[in-house]
Amino acid sequence: MTNRVINFYAGPAGLPLPALERAKEELLDFAGSGMSVMEISHRAKEYDAVHEEALALVRELMGLPANYKVLLLQGGAHLAFGMIPLNLLRGGRKADYILTGNWAEKAYKEAKLVGGENVRVGASTKDEKYARLPKAGEYKIGTDSSFVHFTSNNTVEGTQFKAFPKTDKPYICDMSSDIMWRPFDVSNFGIIYAGAQKNLGPSGVTLVIIRDDVLEMCEAQDLPSYLRFKLHAEKNSLYNTPPCFGIYILRNVLAYNKSIGGLKAIEANNLKKGELLYGCIDKHAGFFKPFVTEKADRSMMNVDFFLPTEALTDTFVKEAKKNNMVGLKGYRDVGGIRASTYNAVTVDNVKTLVSFMEEFVKKNG
């Protein structure tokens, strides 16, 4: 038996064991081909079947309408931060960026490099260390804005949009850290993008979902080819050699997600996990202090909380590790504890953490 730990890393993060076991089983001989999936030409029928299945599973699990294209690219959210303004903020188009954390700020700064004055702040809670999301009255979206960019889940700060910002402009959304955490209506989204390494698969694959009318706005014939969304869409993400093995693992993860009941079942698990973990934090409010100030904004993917002292925080991380749980140290700018509870973290995993927390309070509270 393999000794597996409980993985609370913020990304790259744990993947469903059956998806990995499937990969292990056929690592030297994929589908009777006599090759690893990473040794097969991306133009060969064996890889093509994987590629098409991965794209179809994204479409099926998210319930994407026919007017959306699904792309599987490289470079992570970071490259997408640049590709979005390079493709869309042309001809004087303007966009409003909602600043809700470390990653939202990065997206904004990258867009500013390309769009300059045309990239504006549509709302920000920076003054409150991003410990909550903007409230309804705090948005200032220009009537001349073509897009509103936001980050659906803030990995560092542990906030998450349950309801999306109210605006009649198309959303461009970085969903890297909560894509497919639940079913939702995509129709207001112009672009959804996500690095795979939290909820979808290994690092090195970027999922980009783009609505046809927004794709048509990408006039970028003067950009280097790799940076053009439209070209990737026309070539079905096979313009150049895709990250075949990463896409294969993503396929395995999504096939597993489908097998356990799709996003509805995953949402139920995620809500249960949040209830258990935040329940424990709230129960011991004198000991555990959440970073996020508004309960409604709490993330079901990244749970940030503090212990009474830094010494206790260190002890918590070390003791957890002895109890087979890794990745709990908070992000450097926030400190404390961060438990990342992406889709692959099970309800039982969270129960184990909560039991550990209860014990920890008993001993140290």
Residues involved in catalysis = 103, 174, 198
User: Which of 74/167 has CB closer to a second copy?
Assistant: 74
Segment 179 to 198, residues that bind a second copy, using CB under 8 A: 195, 197
Please state the closest distance from residue 160 (CB atom) to a second copy, in A: 20
Please state the closest distance from residue 287 (CB atom) to a second copy, in A: 27
Q: Residue 3 interacts with a second copy (CB under 8 A)?
A: yes
- Count of residues interacting with a second copy (CB under 8 A): 71
Q: Residue 49 interacts with a second copy (CB under 8 A)?
A: no
Among 217-225, 257-265, 304-312, 345-353, the segment contacting a second copy (CB under 8 A): 217-225
Segment 150 to 169, residues that bind a second copy, using CB under 8 A: none
Please state the closest distance from residue 225 (CB atom) to a second copy, in A: 6
What secondary structure letter does DSSP report for 184? -
Segment 219 to 278, residues that bind a second copy, using CB under 8 A: 222-227, 239-246, 249
Encoded amino acid at 288, one letter: F
Q: Residue 326 interacts with a second copy (CB under 8 A)?
A: yes
Give the tokens for residue 183: 């079913």
Exposure string for 107-143, b = 16+ CB within 10 A, e = fewer: bbebbbebbeebbbebbbbeeeebbbbbeeeeeebee
Interface residue with a second copy among 31, 64, 79, 238 (CB under 8 A) is 79
Give SS3 for 69: strand
**Residues in the chain, how many?**
365
> CB neighbours (10 Å) of residue 221?
9
Q: Residue 27 interacts with a second copy (CB under 8 A)?
A: yes
Q: Residue 339 interacts with a second copy (CB under 8 A)?
A: no
Segment 58 to 77, residues that bind a second copy, using CB under 8 A: 74-77
> CB neighbours (10 Å) of residue 16?
20
* CA-based end-to-end distance of the chain: 36
Q: Residue 11 interacts with a second copy (CB under 8 A)?
A: yes
Strands of the 145-151 sheet, one edge to the other = 68-73, 206-211, 189-195, 171-174, 145-151, 94-99, 119-124
- Dist CA 66 CA 61 (whole Å): 14
Please state the closest distance from residue 285 (CB atom) to a second copy, in A: 29
User: Which of 250/357 has CB closer to a second copy?
Assistant: 250
Give the tokens for residue 266: 């995953």
User: Which of 108/278 has CB closer to a second copy?
Assistant: 108
Please state the closest distance from residue 87 (CB atom) to a second copy, in A: 11
- Dist CA 175 CA 198 (whole Å): 10
